[in-house]
Chain A
């Protein structure tokens, strides 16, 4: 077997393209699977250049090392009582993560495979093939880790179960991922999944999450997330060269629109999952920074630099996005806690006296708005009126992001002029939106979103029977033993709840 130097064969192998003779180009690259945006095939092939290059042999070598390391840690800790000793709210964050993320990784494998087949450049298809294997690995390793928790936490089963249910947060997650990659062409997927979602948010989030896990003593989860992050950092780099090709060929405006679209959708889910995990579920003594500080220091700075480097404008709603860092996830936190029977994990309240002091320090004005709401809830807990801490109806859900509409919280905290949702009558149906950007995304391509039914639409349409909270929970696939309850047994309220 000839042993050539890497430099002698690498570029030929990674960027081997071919001219089509038996089918025409449009048959080979159907537009719905790979929208070339009018850019000639030659321009894609000649210009697309990934910043990080790796051979298949090197890839396999690295992945074997990673798998050996992460599975060894998992095996070594399997008989320990480490998980049971973790703070209850942190355990909830882990269980929430598995349910929200694991099946999405498998969908992402299909997205990578689509780019591996329909990417417009040979080097891109090469990189996406490795990305496909990354995402399969992420599905498998996280399923394995979650499976190992089953004896201690049966709801780790939601790592596999969640995406086969109609639980409300899962509907929102599926809606996001369908828009971003399951129902997206290869070029748009590179912009929206790899450039916006992975480079912009999850790559950095996974770095922070891994560090937090190690801080709280969750070595198992920390090693898992670290291992995944190294793959993300590599395959996320499909976004930049794709964006560069579009800009060089006069398609900046379309690229900007797609990024603006997905940045907002990603922010919404990020605010929910990461916002509450950092500011409420992570034990106070292990918080190195608030969610807002993390966003400002890492996400915002990186995006500003990227937008500047590519000559892109900041998204038109940038000011609103930055403004929401002060209030959005606090409202979502109260909503998730109040609607705790509708999630598969035990939400931590995270509002014991010392935690409230920290929240007020990090978010001046928190006590007067969100703290005041927690006062009423805590008093009901102390007085044994738990029935008043459970919902008897649904919140209205945004017809784009599929998340509860908390605009009243934005108004209450002085950030929005009106507490009312935004309405749109389209095709004989009324749609409700949480925000201008969500309405803008819908109106930019109504036929893409108009047919989807939110959980509220399904309730009103008679799809959920009986039309009660119990009927809704059954529809969501939550059995009585799976529904969430307060992570800390309401200790936070018994200790005072109120400031000081």
Chain B
């Protein structure tokens, strides 16, 4: 496991954030790490599951960052399903 810095855009937020994750993190964990910086801070939290979108495709919750081909400083989008 190695730290993987990502550029994250959370749906409804105003800025692109630097969010460090682990390259072995599943997408569900990646989404939570991004949401931690935004949900109920600048965007109302919702009781719905989160989803990560990378290069236009929504990724399954259980796929890891490495398996999804996400590299350092790649841009991901996170939003509620």
Contact = CB atoms under 8 A, between A and B. Distances in A.
A406 to B, nearest CB: 5
A419 B18 contact: no
Contacts of B10: 408
Interface in A430-450: 430, 432
Contact of A376 (B37, B44, B73, B77): B44
B81 interface: no
B17 A396 contact: yes
Contacts of A380: 40-41
Contacts of A338: 42
Contacts of B60: none
B9 interface: yes
Interface in B50-68: none
B2 to A, nearest CB: 13
A460 B75 CA distance: 16
A372 B12 CA distance: 10
B73 A430 contact: yes
Nearest to B8: A396
B28 interface: no
A389 B42 CA distance: 8
Contact of B75 (A370, A409, A421): A421
B41 A388 contact: yes
A300 interface: no
B7 A432 contact: yes
A334 interface: yes
Nearest to A405: B16
Interface in A413-471: 419-421, 423, 430, 432, 456, 459-460
A393 interface: yes
Nearest to A425: B73
B14 A406 contact: yes
A407 B17 CA distance: 11
Contacts of A456: 18
Given A377-B42, A388-B41, A419-B77, A396 B18 contact: yes
Contacts of B7: 396, 421, 432
B36 A392 contact: yes
A409 B15 contact: yes
A334 B13 CA distance: 11
Nearest to B45: A376
A376 B16 contact: no
Contact of A420 (B20, B40, B41, B77): B77
Contacts of B15: 331, 335, 395-396, 404-406, 408-409
Given A395-B16, A395-B18, A376 B75 contact: no
Interface string B7-39: 101101111111110000000000000001100
A412 interface: yes
Contacts of A17: none
Given A335-B15, A432-B73, 5 more contacts: A334-B42, A392-B36, A408-B10, A412-B13, A432-B7
Interface of B: 5, 7, 9-10, 12-20, 36-37, 40-44, 72-73, 75, 77
Shortest 3 CB-CB contacts between residues of A and residues of B:
A409-B14, A396-B16, A405-B16
